[in-house]
Structure 1
Amino acid sequence: MTTEEMDAEKARAAAWFRALRDEIVAAFEALEDSQATGPFAGAPAGRFEVTETRRRSEDGSDAGGGLMSVMRGGRVFEKVGVNVSTVYGTLGARAQAAMAARKGIPGMAEDPRFWASGISLVAHMQNPHTPAVHMNTRMFWTPHAWWFGGGSDLNPCIEYDEDTAAFHAVQKAHCDRHDPTYYPRFKAWADEYFYIPHRGRARGVGGIFFDDHSRGDWEADFAFTQDVGRAFLPAFLGVTEKRRDMPWTEADKDVQLIHRGLYAEYNLVYDRGTKFGLETGHDANAVLMSLPPLAKWV
């Protein structure tokens, strides 16, 4: 693939992530508008606050950025962030070493340029019966390789087996359009990736996760990554609409806050995206958008 062709593909990927962001933001604000019952029904419907983010290289030059969109204190969402970014520059020594070790890419030290674009979403809900959720898709490029990554996983504090099954069924249907081996492989990867060793448990009920995805056909890999993004709203909204009107107790809220502590531990200690964002100088508020507004530890 020529440089011009690769530049065109990168532009298409970045445009897709932005379009998906716009679709999700509109759907979440519509969900806020439709909430007519419960303790927050009389409050103003939540709206996203949008902030432009910038990344600066070590010499202070522009190195890309994006949009951070955060809603706080809504009728349905206690806090939800939907971020998109396109960043570029050169990888520092630690990021180079981690990338080379994980992917076996030669030549990183000689030419450490990179480009990355993606969407990242985390939602923390008002109702403890409504699960928190995470989703992201991304494309990464270096002069030596390109790949896609991402996934979507459900993080309920009060688990319902039928919700888990429904969420996974949508993920499987979208994976099966591309390869019947994707769902079982990427489900297992999510189970492994979203595991918290120091607690001896998963942070939620899983979903799918994939990284380093480059089968040599950019169009096919991009089409799959798009379908992972398309799966998010039908998978999550179905569960949310089912649970958002359920009554809850203070004990339920306490369970939710403790589970959020678990979620925060994972994101601060193990999450690759958090580490990469901070190590490469991206806006810290955007990187840490995933943290819950309130959490509790026993």
Structure 2
Amino acid sequence: MVAARCLIPLRLRHIDRATQMTESFAAEKQRAADWFRELRNQIVAAFEALEDNHTSGPLSDRPAGRFDVSNTSRQSDDGSDAGGGLMSVMRGGRVFEKVGVNVSEVYGTLGDAAQKSMAARGVPGIEDDPRFWASGISLVAHMQNPHAPAVHMNTRMFWTPHAWWFGGGSDLNPCIEYEEDTAHFHATQKAHLDPHGDAHYPKLKAWADEYFYIPHRHRARGVGGIFMDDHNSGDWQADFALTQDIGRAFLPAFVPLVEKRRTQPWTDEDKNTQLIHRGLYAEYNLVYDRGTKFGLATGHDADAVLMSLPPLAKWI
């Protein structure tokens, strides 16, 4: 596998004016949180439109799916408010068997284990000052039709008094792969990243290939996509713009694939293939996914953190 880590620049280690970082980044944090909420709204509307438009083909005779929306909350160790978010989940729709689109904004202080983990990743000052703020959007879609691919997407911003960074991406997880679908997904992402520099797409694609790999199965969990973490070029505006375009790439990369496959007939064998692949997806998210580990370790709503798990899965 090709390592493609993009660690926080060493020059950030020398920023020791925590108060200045706290005050100066209030506007940036708000902009990021607002964007993740806006992107969530766009995706929820697009997915409900897919449900409405599925008027022929398998399962078209059932009611169009709608998102159930609930607030999530997080409390600090002393019981005080530590942020929360919005969990939106659709179950048993015409097109989507289960899809969740979550946004969150959490803050507080990191526990010892999280501090040590971030210190090992090169986050400056985290052991001396464990305050943090994080906001992001997280999406996982499991489809009714085995020919329509499952998909994952998330983008996020993380802040401490001494550093900030962005992360996230999206990857396609078909149980029955179509080469033209894979090509479309990657080409759309490349088109959104290229305006930020020709080096971004190959770097983030290689990073996704590394990150979404299941060592105990010796295989990738899907057909890849793009991924980054700890991304800080020193230019917040540029990094935020890149993160926004990672999010903007999602709907044009994914929705046309659903439109193409949603009416395709399937067999019992196709459904069995889908359930076995979902088992692979569940293994990855429970054992390796960094977001799952962070969410549970920092006390966020467990249902929201584990929203990514499929409603049904199978193991041989």
TM-score (norm 1): 0.98
Q: Which residue of 2 aligns with 1:167?
A: 185
Cα deviations by residue, 1:169-223 (Å, 9 ceiling, x for unpaired) = 0010111010110000000000000000000000000000001111011000000
The answer to whether the aligner puts 1:95 opposite 2:114 as a matched pair is: yes
Deviations 1:143-184 (A, max 9, x none): 111000000100000001110000000010111010110000
Partner of 1:68: 87
SS where residue 95 of structure 1 aligns?
Answer: helix
Write the deviation string for residues 14-60 of structure 1: whole angstroms up to 9, x where unpaired.
00000000000000001100001123111110000001000011111
1:119 aligns with 2:134: no
2:17 maps to what in 1? none
Secondary structure (helix, strand or coil) at the match of 2:25 reads: helix
Q: Tell me, what secondary structure is at the counterpart of 1:281?
A: coil
Q: Is the 8 A contact 2:22 2:161 kept in 1?
A: no
Q: Distance in 2 between matches of 1:241 and 1:259?
A: 21
- Correspondence for 1:134: 152
**Correspondence for 1:268:** 286
Partner in structure 1 of residue 248 of structure 2: 230
Equivalence for 2:198 = 180
Structure 2 counterpart of 1:5: 24
Contact 2:33 2:136 in 1 (8 A): yes
Q: 2:227 aligns with which of 206, 209, 222?
A: 209
Summarize deviations over 1:49-102 as a string: whole Å, max 9, x none.
001000011111100000000000000000000000000000000111111101
Q: Which residue does 2:44 correspond to in 1?
A: 25
Ranges in structure 1 where 5+ consecutive residues have no aligned partner: none
Rounded Cα–Cα distance in structure 2 between residues aligned with 1:198 and 1:98: 22
Note the residue ranges of structure 2 that are not aligned, 5 or more in a row: 1-19
Matched, 1:85 2:104: yes
Amino acid at match of 2:132: F
Q: Hey, what's the Cα distance between the residues in 1 that align with 2:258 and 2:118?
A: 37
- Equivalent-residue separation in structure 2 for 1:263 and 1:276 (angstroms): 18
- Kindly tell me: are residues 200 and 2 of structure 1, through their superposed partners in 2, closer, same or farther at Cα, counting changes over 3 Å? closer
**Who is 1:190 aligned against?**
208
Match of 1:149, as an amino acid?
A: G
Aligned residue among 216, 220, 228 for 2:238: 220
Distance (whole Å) between structure 1 residues aligned to residue 24 and residue 116 of structure 2: 28
RMSD of aligned C-alpha atoms? 0.8
Q: Which amino acid is the alignment partner of residue 187 of structure 2?
A: A
- The yes-or-no answer on 1:42 pairing with 2:61 is yes
Counterpart Cα distance in 2 of 1:109 and 1:150: 24
Distance 1:105 1:118 in 2: 19
TM-score normalised by structure 2 residue count: 0.93
Name the residue aligned to 1:106. 124
Q: Deviations over 1:82-129 (max 9, x none)?
A: 000000000000111111101x12321210000000000000000000
Please say if residues 21 and 162 of structure 2, whose CA atoms lie closer than 8 Å, have aligned partners that are also in contact: no
Q: Distance in 2 between matches of 1:148 and 1:208?
A: 14
Q: Structure 1 residues 196, 141: CA separation in 2 closer, same or farther (over 3 Å shift)?
A: same
Q: Which has the higher contact order (CA 8 A, sep 6+)?
A: 2
1:110 and 1:182 map into 2 onto residues whose CA distance is 33
**Residue 145 in 1 paired to residue 160 in 2?**
no
Runs (4 or more) in structure 1 with deviation over 6 Å come to none
Distance 1:33 1:80 in 2: 15
1:55 corresponds to 2:58 = no
Matched residues, number = 297
- Work out the CA distance in 1 between the residues paired with 2:172 and 2:217: 18
- Out of 245, 257, 272, the position equivalent to 1:239 is 257
1:7 alignment partner AA? A
Residue 35 of structure 2, aligned match among 6, 13, 16 = 16
Identity of aligned residues (%): 78
